[in-house]
Amino acid sequence: MDRSIRRLVFCLTGLATAALATPAAVETLQTFRGARKDWTAVVPTISAANVVEMIRDGKKVVFVDVRESAEFDEFHIPGAVHSPVRDIDGLDLDDLKGADVVVPYCLKDFRGCEGAKTLQARGLDNVALIQGFGIKTWKKAHLPVAGSFSGLTDERAMDELLAKAEGASR
Amino acid sequence: MTFAARRALLASGLVLLVGTPLVEFAAAVGPLSNYLRGDYPPGQSAYVMMRPAALIAIVLVWFQWIVGTLGRRLERWLGVQTLVPLHRTLGLSAVALVLLHPILFAWSRSLRSGTLEVVRTFFPPRGENIWEFNLFFGAIGLYLVIVAVLAATLGRRLLPRAWRYIHALNYAAIASVFFHALSVGSDTRLPMTHALYWLLIATGAAATVFRVATLVRSRRGRAASERGDRSAAALASANASPARPA
């Protein structure tokens, strides 16, 4: 009896491992073959530069930070709305529906992508991810962030962002 | 309650402990078949699949914790001669899933951001942010688990006395892994999973305290009985020695 239970446990473990690794293996194979679908047709992306231009031109861009509170307090895109990814279902969409673009993000958009899909499923059609993924791309582009790391408030960080946008447009 | 009923109860409990977080996870991410269709940015499928690996692994690790601390009592309660073979089997299964979790995470990072991200997953963070710091506790737990399991599998022959002490590194691994799960886990903040994880920690800690108390008591008892034996032996030899002349 004991041996059969152990065999069952080993088989279940093997099956679980294979099942969990399969989607990643399929994706890797598709990537190497160049056969991956264009996922941006489903979740569009927008470059950080385009976003900054839109903000400079007075368009309404709403960032939704889907990370945890401690991460948000460290640094976030100025003006971002904070809503951890598990709370996105309860986020009030009235403000977001009127936006020109809603950009959910996290560090590299693993959680950001989940947030984007949830918002799309809730009926928003103006959702996009940052091209290059996440706030790491934003910081790599030397764009200002608010929070304890930079010591900037949202207002000061936004002023710096607009100043950069003005400088870039000249 | 019969032994068969107790075993069925234990098996049902384990299924519930594994199933509850998996159900919450599935409700949060939607149909898993979507991740085979390529509707997501690169690496998203590996990122999503690493989560159930961790959710199953941590329950197995908790069960190993309980078996390791209360093994003999559990054997009597279940009416089995020994749980050691099951402990070994579940331990290896837990290690397989514990390894799969960071491998899938590193895989997802490399698909999204390039191969160097694989290295970052397994090495200490460079002081970037709290998330990377808390993430690294998972790597610490992984390394401790590997050492502890190697001690139990290979170390029994090489270090017949010392392997148990190295195997006890699992306690530090468990602390590290639960901290990692509660601080960065995507699914551990879902309400039922969160409550369940605290229940696992509380029961494991209670079992450990009980085990330590039992060990201390038995050592004290052994020391006392050794002292008692020695004084009884001394008394017996004093009584047996010939009477001194007047």
* Residue owning tokens 């936004």: A158
B31 SS3 class: coil
Tell me the backbone φ, ψ of residue B125, rounded to 5 degrees: -70, 160
User: Which of A108, A130, A138 to probe the B interface (max B CBs under 10 A)?
Assistant: A108
Give me the pLDDT at residue B246, please: 46
Quote the ipTM score. 0.88
Per cent of chain A over pLDDT 70 is: 97
Mean pLDDT (chain B, rounded): 87
pTM recorded for the entire structure: 0.87
B26 close to A (CB below 8 A): no
Q: Out of A20, A39, A75, whose CB is closest to B49?
A: A20
A31-45, A110-124, B230-244 — which is least confidently predicted? B230-244
Residues A131, A47: contact at Cβ < 8 Å? yes
Tell me the helix, strand and coil percentages in chain B, rounded to 5. Answer: 85, 0, 15
How many Cβ atoms sit within 10 Å of the Cβ of residue B106? 19
Distance CA B142, CA B139 (A): 5
- Lowest average pLDDT, out of A144-148, B33-37, B164-168, B175-179, goes to B33-37
Res. B103: pLDDT tops 50: yes
**What dihedral angle (degrees, nearest 10) is formed by the CA atoms of A32, A33, A39, A41?**
140
Distance from CA of B41 to the nearest CA of A (A): 6
To test the contact with chain A by mutation, choose from B7, B63, B112 the residue with the greatest count of A C-beta atoms within 10 A, namely B112
Residue B47 DSSP code: H
Between the CA atoms of B165, B166, B170 and B176, what dihedral angle is there, to the nearest 10 degrees?
120
H-run or E-run covering B56: helix B44-78
